[in-house]
């Protein structure tokens, strides 16, 4: 058993060793602290601050826990400081080996963001669905906005503050998006695109359905019109206004506000050519008036004497004949009129020529001279109607271009040898006329007057007249006029154009 005094040297040696070890650690810490800089930071109440380290933090020594608190993320080498009250404190950060790596002198003051947040609350307090928060060094307005007009109000208010201080992350509520989608769809339907629908999904407006294909030069024309119409509703009140003001920044590469899901209808097959019904009316009116008066007294003598030899005897006969001993009086008046009406109907395909020929052939006797002699022959002449019409429908219009060639031959009369007189009326023209409208494309009025005085009748001579007492007067007045009416009409089918003809001829 050791004596009590024997333990004293042992204890003395142990305390001496501990003292030397503590002195060495303190000296090492002082040498490390000299190697690091002391950092001073200014924090604001309500605004958190994040510290990043290049080492894994170990023990943390906080001077005054009433001024701020901290959260350590050793795995990610981070620390979050949360100011609590106005004041000043120190913060020492050690590594895993117990070496003091950082010393911070922290000063906490009252933030100006809190004052700004209260002002925003007073200005936007009537806007339903929004929340005003302070996050880090910025005030954010969050929530769901019920009306698009409220978003405009928020943007106007936020523009009064620095962009680095206040931001907007609020979105339109589903109810507001639905209202905008309905307005977009209604406007697109007014443009004639009835098969287009609009839906609001996750702050995006989906434009769906089918639109007719545009012209060959721009087949996407109708789709572009529908999308641009939708954008006039959405960006100006929803996103673009805020983006222009720099309040909201849309992430690059994100989905567009208006999503084009339209399908362009395939090019339709060529439509069948239009059918055109051409109705023509030809009206001709002839009037004639003739008045003849004559007084004829032309007595004459004819010598018919002759000499004959009969049975060796000479016989002489003297004979004289007196003609027209009695005067002749002739007074005659004639009237005449005629009306010719030709009505025709022809159905022809658009941009094609149609021909209508309604004629008969009449014989005409002609005399031909051959080898010093005269021979009689017969020729045939077409008398009647010949019409050629080519209608061409004009693009984007109900009017048509009509090429008309019209010819009508009629028998006017016969002379004393039976040879007919043939009259011909012919019209060639091009005109523009609307479908179902009538146009008078040609007309001619003629007026012929003829007067004769004391003209001897044909076949009379004055060689044997004893005397001539002949007086005559003849007057003729011939009037004629004609006009041609053309009425083109676009019809759906040839069957439609035949209904009127069936009714006229009572064909079932």
Tokens of residue 117, six digits: 């947040």
Q: Rounded to whole angstroms, how far apart are CA atoms 354 and 486?
A: 14
In the chain the domains, ranked by start, together with CATH numbers, are 29-109 (2.60.40.1080), 114-264 (no CATH), 275-505 (no CATH)
Tokens of residue 357, six digits: 């020929």
Tell how far CA 331 is from the center of its chain: 77
Tell how far CA 362 is from the center of its chain: 58
In contact, 409 and 383? CB cutoff 8 Å: yes
Query: Among residues 75, 107, 73, 103, which one has the least CA distance to residue 89?
Result: 107
Tell me the three state secondary structure of residue 269: coil
Q: How many CA atoms lie within 13 A of 303 on its CB side?
A: 7
Which is it for strands 38-44 and 68-73: parallel, antiparallel or unpaired? unpaired
Environment class of 67 (CB within 10 Å of its CB; exposed 0-12, middle 13-18, buried 19+): buried
508 residues of the chain, pLDDT tens digit each: 444 444 455 555 555 555 554 444 444 444 444 436 678 888 877 778 888 988 889 999 898 999 889 999 998 999 999 888 888 999 898 888 888 888 899 988 777 777 888 888 888 888 888 888 877 678 888 888 877 678 778 888 888 887 778 888 887 788 888 888 898 999 999 999 999 999 988 878 899 999 998 888 888 999 999 999 888 876 444 444 455 555 555 544 334 478 899 999 887 776 777 888 888 887 777 676 666 655 555 555 555 555 565 555 555 554 555 455 455 555 555 666 656 567 888 888 888 998 888 888 888 877 777 776 777 778 888 888 888 999 998 887 888 899 988 887 877 777 777 778 887 878 888 988 888 888 887 666 666 676 666 555 555 555 555 555 555 666 666 677 777 888 888 887 777 656 666 676 666 6
- Which helix or strand (DSSP H or E) is residue 322 part of? strand 320-323
How many residues does this entry show for the chain?
Answer: 508
Environment class of 264 (CB within 10 Å of its CB; exposed 0-12, middle 13-18, buried 19+): middle
Please state whether the predicted TM-score (pTM) of the whole model is above 0.75: no
In contact, 324 and 256? CB cutoff 8 Å: no
What 8-state DSSP symbol labels residue 415?
-
Tokens of residue 305, six digits: 């004497």
Looking at residue 225, its pLDDT comes to 92
Query: Among residues 482, 486, 388, 351, which one has the least CA distance to residue 431?
Result: 486
Looking at residue 197, its pLDDT comes to 94
What 8-state DSSP symbol labels residue 84?
-
Residues 6+ apart with CB under 8 A from 290: 333, 334, 335, 474, 475, 476, 477
In contact, 80 and 49? CB cutoff 8 Å: yes
In contact, 121 and 132? CB cutoff 8 Å: yes
Q: In what order do the strands lie in the sheet with 49-52?
A: 49-52, 78-83, 68-73
Alpha carbon distances (Å) from 279 to 82, 301, 342: 96, 67, 11
Looking at residue 28, its pLDDT comes to 43
Q: Rounded to whole angstroms, how far apart are CA atoms 278 and 482?
A: 19
Q: Rounded to whole angstroms, how far apart are CA atoms 133 and 142?
A: 8
Tell me the three state secondary structure of residue 218: coil
Looking at residue 497, its pLDDT comes to 58
Looking at residue 31, its pLDDT comes to 43
């Amino acid at each position: 058993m050791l004596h009590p005094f024997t333990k004293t040297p042992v204890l003395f040696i142990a305390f001496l060793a501990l003292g030397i070890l503590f002195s060495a650690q303190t000296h090492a810490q002082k040498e490390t602290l000299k190697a690091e800089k002391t950092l001073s930071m200014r924090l604001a109440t309500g605004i958190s601050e994040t510290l990043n380290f290049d080492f894994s933090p170990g023990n943390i020594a906080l001077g005054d826990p009433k001024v701020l608190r901290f959260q350590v993320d050793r795995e990610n080498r981070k620390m979050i400081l949360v100011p609590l009250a106005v004041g000043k404190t120190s913060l020492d950060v050690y590594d895993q080996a117990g070496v003091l790596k950082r010393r911070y002198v922290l000063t906490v003051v009252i933030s100006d963001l809190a004052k700004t947040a209260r002002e925003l609350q007073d200005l936007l307090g009537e806007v339903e669905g929004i929340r005003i928060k302070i996050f880090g060094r910025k005030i954010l307005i969050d929530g769901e906005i019920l009306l698009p007009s409220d978003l405009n109000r928020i943007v106007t208010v936020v523009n009064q503050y620095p962009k680095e201080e206040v931001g907007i992350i609020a979105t339109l509520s589903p109810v507001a998006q639905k209202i905008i989608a309905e307005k977009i769809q209604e406007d697109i339907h007014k443009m004639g695109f009835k098969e287009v629908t609009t839906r609001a999904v996750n702050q995006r407006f989906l434009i769906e359905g089918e639109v007719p294909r545009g012209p060959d030069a721009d087949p996407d024309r109708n789709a572009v019109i529908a999308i641009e119409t939708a954008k006039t509703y959405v960006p100006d009140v929803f996103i673009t206004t805020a983006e222009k003001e720099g309040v909201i920044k849309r992430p690059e590469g994100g989905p567009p506000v208006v999503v084009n899901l339209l399908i362009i209808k395939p090019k339709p097959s060529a439509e069948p050519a239009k059918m055109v019904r051409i109705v023509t009316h030809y009206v001709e009116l002839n009037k004639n008036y003739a008045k003849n008066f004559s007084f004829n007294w032309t007595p004459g003598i004819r010598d018919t004497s002759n000499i004959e030899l009969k049975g060796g005897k000479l016989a002489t006969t003297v004979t004289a004949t007196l003609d027209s001993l009695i005067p002749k009086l002739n007074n005659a008046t004639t009237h005449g009129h005629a009306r010719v009406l030709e009505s025709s109907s022809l159905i022809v395909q658009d941009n094609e020529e149609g021909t209508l020929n309604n004629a008969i052939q009449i014989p005409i006797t002609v005399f031909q001279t051959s080898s010093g002699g005269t021979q009689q022959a017969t020729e045939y002449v077409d008398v009647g109607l010949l019409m050629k019409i080519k209608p061409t429908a004009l693009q984007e219009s109900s009017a048509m271009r009509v090429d008309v060639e019209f010819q009508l031959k009629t028998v006017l009369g016969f002379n004393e040898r039976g040879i007919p007189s043939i009259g011909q009326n012919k019209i060639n023209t091009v005109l523009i006329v609307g479908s179902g409208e009538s146009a008078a494309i040609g007309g001619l009025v003629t007026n012929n007057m003829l007067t004769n005085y004391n003209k001897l009748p044909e076949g009379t001579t004055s060689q044997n007249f004893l005397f001539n007492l002949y007086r005559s007067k003849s007057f003729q007045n011939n009037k004629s006029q004609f006009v041609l009416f053309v009425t083109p009409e676009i019809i759906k089918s040839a069957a439609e154009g035949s209904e009127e003809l069936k009714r006229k001829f009572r064909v079932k």
